[in-house]
Chains A and B, each alone.
Chain A
Amino acid sequence: MDHARLKRPDLSEARIRGRYAAERRFRFYGQFAVGLAIAMLGVLLFSVCSKGYSAFYRAEIALDIMLDPAVITPDGKSDADTLASADYQGLVKEALKAQFPEVTSRGDRKNLFNLVSNGAGNSVRQAVLADPGLIGSTQRIWVVAADDMDMLAKGFIKRDLPESERVVSDTQIGWYDKLDAAGQLRTAFNAVFLSAGDSREPEQAGILGALMGSIFTMLVTVLLALPLGVMSAIYLEEFAPKNRVTEIIEVNINNLAAVPSIVFGLLGLAVLLGVFGLPRSAPLVGGMVLALMTLPTIIIATRAALKAVPPSIREAAYGIGASPLQVVSHHVLPLATPGIMTGAIIGLARALGESAPLLMIGMVAFIVDVPHWPTDPATVLPVQIYLWADSPERAFIEKTSAGIMVLLAFLISMNAIAIFVRRKFERRW
């Protein structure tokens, strides 16, 4: 032995060091992969939030507005209808004229009026409706600035560019600075973004219409996909004889789970709109298409949950004389409910973020009114994001990102509920 050791140098130390180094490297690759995946998530969220947070506030301009009774109540009546339909935008324009009396030419006036939003009159209307006693007096009211001014206030428009290359002119910037110096400019929380439907004016565009559309769509999806999915899973898992037909059904369901979502859109276009003549752009149809898409996910999750209920429960129920259907409906199903719920919520979260099939069935539409019924024309959050990404106005870029933030908040809360349900009710047998 001694002899042998002398002859051959012992390499085992080096080999072990090498193997340990390989071990450490391998471990590092793993850490790196996890780190990379999480870093990508971070970059993605950061890039969205940094672009989108500014949409949650907006520039406002304070104007001394003369609430002229001749304009608001031209025929002397001050009922709610007259007050609501008066020309408040005109009053805002008058106030601007009064603030900058030196502006007289028609073109300049147009530029001046472009400082405030088309919807600036709404703030005045609200003030008057809240207190009709104000009519006749001059009030300082904060009105919404136009999107270009908003972009200027947020620093998205660079002042050092030559005038011809900017959307806002030097005169407009001059007026803006004057207002700013006089303390007539502020940025405030943008409530409109959360309470209005879509608009062509970025400063008046809101996410509520799309949000309601998403809610109605999801409602239809849940109502259809959940009972159908759970019932077919019960049949396949608990009652179906193992034969050729059920095998085909099983393979088929697994395949449907991986069919590209856009194909479901083509199905909706050809069958639901084409054959059944259902209305275009309706959450009802969108919900049906998404339900078909979600169904396989729910079936697969439900079967897994049913499978996880131990046979002893079933046997005990059979032992006291329950019929097969009673065993399932009284014992197995209640115990599998948390698992089913988790699967269903995750499936629905996917449906909520889905837009490709909806492009095919007319949900890519400009809809101002917030929908109130599943057949009202509506769009959904992801489609609204897609539409805004397509709009020419610069200010829509921040709206797009802010829309993404709302959608992500919605999704994350759904996933959080799923995790909560799993943690709270999960039972290990």
Chain B
Amino acid sequence: MVRQRGFLGFHRFWVSLLPGLIFAGLALAALPAAARDQIHIVGSSTVYPFSTAVAEHFSQTGFKAPVVESTGTGGGLKLFCAGVGESFPDIANASRPIKEGEVADCQKNGVSEIVEVEIGYDGIVLASAKNAPPRALGIRDLYLALAKDVPVNGVLLANPYSLWSEINPALPAQKIEVLGPPPTSGTRDAFLELVMEKACHAFPEIAAIPDDKLRKAKCQTLREDGAYIDAGENDNLIVQKLSANAAAFGVLGYSFLADNQDLLQGSTMDGVAPSEDNIINGSYEVARKLYIYVKKQHRAIVPGLAEFVAEFVSERASGPQGYLADKGMVPMPIAEHQQVAAAVLAALPVASTLGASLDLGASSVLLPWVAGGLLLLLSSVGFQLGRRRAFASVRGATRQLHSLPGYHGIFVGLGAFLPGALALLLGAVLASFLPGDARTGHDVIWAAIAAATLGAAAIGLAWAQRHVSANFRARNAVERMTMVLLIVCSLLSILTTVGIVLSLVFEAMRFFAQVSVFEFLFGLQWSPQMAIRADQVGQSGAFGAIPVFAGTLLITVIAMVVAVPVGLMSAIYLSDYASRRTRAWAKPLIEILAGIPTVVYGFFAALTVAPLIRGFGASIGLDVASESALAAGLVMGVMIIPFISSLSDDVMNAVPQAMRDGAFALGATKSETIRQVVVPAALPGIMGGVLLAVSRAIGETMIVVMAAGLTANLTANPLEAVTTVTVQIVTLLVGDQEFDSPKTLAAFALGLLLFIITLILNIVALRIVKKYREQYE
């Protein structure tokens, strides 16, 4: 093991540099390698399928394919308005027009020239499973079925209807069950305006309300008693859920209906079928416009921006016969399309000269790397010089040296490397803060940084070299430096925690400035239905986190009911009963369950388990929601099994053999020994393991995002849909609402609460485990 020569050698020096090298390398990699040459698009998930299709066609014309992110309209516009320059997006997709507040935000950050482009329509359809009888609805029926308060005999009452037939005798006597987009969605916003509001003004009771705001609020508030179910927006999963549930309707974008004609049917709306023709000619009225917003100032920054927009408004893309129509977008009528296209082309002319981007120049891209390389070279030279000098100082009689020559070498090498690396890093940070216009002077700046780096390294080298002498304690110096490095590394975990807490607290404070802490912690109603548009009146925005946590708890309990017995029994069987050979293959197999990505479990829960449970429930006459807590909980339980089994395995193995032997000697059978001696002795440890598993279940995201619901029901019935904390975080952050609204900020408050709860669970669990371990060791 002792490699006397090797440890004098050069490679040790490299090893000692390794951490520094990695950080310097990553820092350099983070520098813009070149000017951005691809368009960056953010925004609405509704427009996403259309933008991506245009992006792909655009890439075939010789430009680089744009990057399209699905962030929700609000999140997208927030990013879009954050500033002008390479690091900000060029285009925002929007499923609603931009709001005044957002325009002001843009102006404030220097985004002054925004071009609005209408790209087409998205029809909103009420779809149901193909095997259900076709139904003809009217917007009046929908209003009466879904509004929170409806006029009954001249008075506004909490919605009393539970069957369609109660609203309209022509409709079947079936439970009202509509899966629709969550309050954070632009689709929901349009649905409220185009269906609910329009229908409600026809009632004299509503029209009689004198206050404008109150009237709107009454019209646009959806009931929250389970008839309307917040489900995902625009995804294949909702299609699957509908096709498995003949009684339910879904509020979907037209494109999903078009692509799934064999699974779904669209209901006629006041006698008009949802078809492309009917949407274009305006007879199907439940349709809204889709937009993209283009940052005109970016024509000089990204090549091909005007060309991309030209492609978007071209005949072959968004025209009546264009490929976007194939993707399910409802195009504008020819005349309107031509008008829009002409206006856009006038606002954003395709000019070849502007397309040429401001290049950083090859030299400034290379310079940081050259500086880094030279620094390394200088450090290596330092190593060799230090070692030589150590040898020379005692004329080759190394015994007279306090430290081996290699240590002197490392000392001098680090003496050159550390100041040089520091200078390089500082320079890089300073350079990245330069305003975009100063880029022309980039080469000069980087040349200066390189010079400073090498200067600092040379000074450090000379300083260290002066120290080298026979009595110099080079090893101790190097070891001290190493120790500092080790301490810094172990402090990083603290830094991470501080970072997490700060980043959550900061945003959560802004949330609590608008919503009281008390209401958040103890409120019994969670329905973040705040206005999405300025002219819309706030609906019942309620931010009581109790139902969300109750839903989390319900799913966690189901998961534990599956995982604890199965996990514990498998651990017992594998540790005490199974033969060595069985154990050798069964244990890794079970552990694979823990290694499967959660997105896979989510897919499995939504597409396989949930329909199975629903089908089974229906066959025995039970009414199971499509997004039942049971499905998500069962699958999560399967995921948790290996945690429980391996943790219980460990603690049961830690129970001293003497205790088992004692039980056997008294004549107990194996199972009696386990049940009455081993498990009770290991119980605190097992409890600790279970608590760890609980905290994992609470924080699990993907399974519930894909398989659980979005409605916050305060229920203990596992067959109903509930929502969880993590689902709400994801939906709130990628929704279509304005980014600074309490809705988005609520995500951070939930995150903070989640962090605190798992923290407490872990501390308790670790305490229990620790206490138990001490008893037997």
Contact = CB atoms under 8 A, between A and B. Distances in A.
Given A365-B67, A415-B595, A262 B729 contact: yes
B599 A258 contact: no
Contacts of A396: 236
A234 B33 contact: no
B754 interface: yes
Interface in A291-324: 292, 295-296, 299, 323
A44 B696 CA distance: 21
Interface residues of B, number: 138
A400 B600 CA distance: 9
Given A260-B726, A362-B71, A37 B593 contact: yes
Interface in A175-205: 199-201
Nearest to B695: A258
B519 to A, nearest CB: 22
A232 B487 CA distance: 7
A160 to B, nearest CB: 11
Interface stretch (A64-72, A95-103, A350-358): A350-358
A38 B591 CA distance: 10
A366 B726 contact: no
B500 A389 contact: no
Contact of A263 (B595, B638, B702, B751): B751
B49 A391 contact: yes
Interface residues of A, number: 125
A239 B603 contact: no
Given A201-B56, A261-B701, A375-B29, A37 B500 contact: no
B111 to A, nearest CB: 17
A43 B634 CA distance: 14
A392 interface: yes
Interface in A13-51: 19-20, 22-23, 26-27, 29-34, 36-38, 40-41, 43-44, 47-48
B261 A254 contact: no
A217 interface: no
Given A263-B500, A359-B730, A284 B490 contact: no
Interface string A261-289: 11110110111001001111100100000
A227 B766 contact: no
Nearest to A359: B730
Interface string A372-396: 0111010000110111011111101
Contact of B569 (A33, A110, A408): A33
Contacts of A59: none
B491 A231 contact: no
Nearest to A16: B669
A344 interface: no
A258 B502 CA distance: 18
A38 B589 contact: yes
Interface string B57-72: 0010010110111110
B600 A408 contact: yes
B327 A200 contact: yes
B237 interface: yes
A393 B702 CA distance: 22
B751 A266 contact: yes
B140 to A, nearest CB: 28
Interface string B249-281: 000000110011110010000000000000000
Contacts of B672: 19, 22-23
Nearest to B88: A280
A254 B234 CA distance: 39
A26 B49 CA distance: 55
B699 A260 contact: yes
Contact of B68 (A201, A235, A334, A366): A366
B236 A391 contact: yes
Given A22-B671, A365-B70, A353 B487 contact: no
A86 interface: no
B620 interface: no
A227 B479 contact: no
A34 B590 contact: yes
Contact of B236 (A44, A224, A397): A397
Contact of A26 (B432, B504, B671, B748): B671
Contact of A27 (B566, B577, B641): B577
A412 B591 CA distance: 11
Nearest to B694: A258
A271 B235 contact: no
Interface stretch (B212-220, B381-389, B755-763): B755-763
Contacts of B112: none
A349 B670 CA distance: 37
Contact of A392 (B33, B259, B496): B259
Interface stretch (B18-26, B118-126, B345-353): B18-26
B213 to A, nearest CB: 34
B288 interface: no
19 contacts: A22-B672, A33-B573, A43-B608, A231-B486, A232-B490, A249-B491, A258-B758, A267-B499, A270-B502, A279-B87, A280-B69, A323-B475, A325-B479, A356-B730, A362-B71, A369-B38, A407-B597, A411-B596, A415-B595
Given A277-B432, A390-B237, A392-B256, 7 more contacts: A30-B577, A34-B569, A43-B608, A223-B25, A253-B493, A256-B493, A365-B69
Interface of A: 19-20, 22-23, 26-27, 29-34, 36-38, 40-41, 43-44, 47-48, 85, 110, 114, 157-158, 161, 164-167, 199-201, 220, 223-224, 227-228, 231-232, 234-236, 239-240, 248-249, 251-256, 258-264, 266-267, 269-271, 274, 277-281, 284, 292, 295-296, 299, 323, 325, 330-331, 334, 346, 349-350, 352-356, 359-360, 362, 364-369, 373-375, 377, 382-383, 385-387, 389-394, 396-397, 400-401, 404, 407-408, 411-412, 415, 419
Interface of B: 1-3, 7, 18-19, 22, 25-26, 29-30, 32-33, 38, 40, 42, 45, 48-49, 51-53, 55-56, 59, 62, 64-65, 67-71, 79, 87, 130, 234-237, 239, 255-256, 259-262, 265, 321, 326-328, 432, 475, 479, 482-483, 485-487, 489-494, 496-497, 499-500, 502-504, 506-507, 565-570, 572-574, 577-578, 586, 588-590, 592-593, 595-601, 603-604, 608, 638, 641-642, 645, 669-672, 674-675, 692, 695-696, 698-702, 705-706, 726, 729-730, 733-734, 747-748, 751, 754-755, 758-759, 761-763, 766
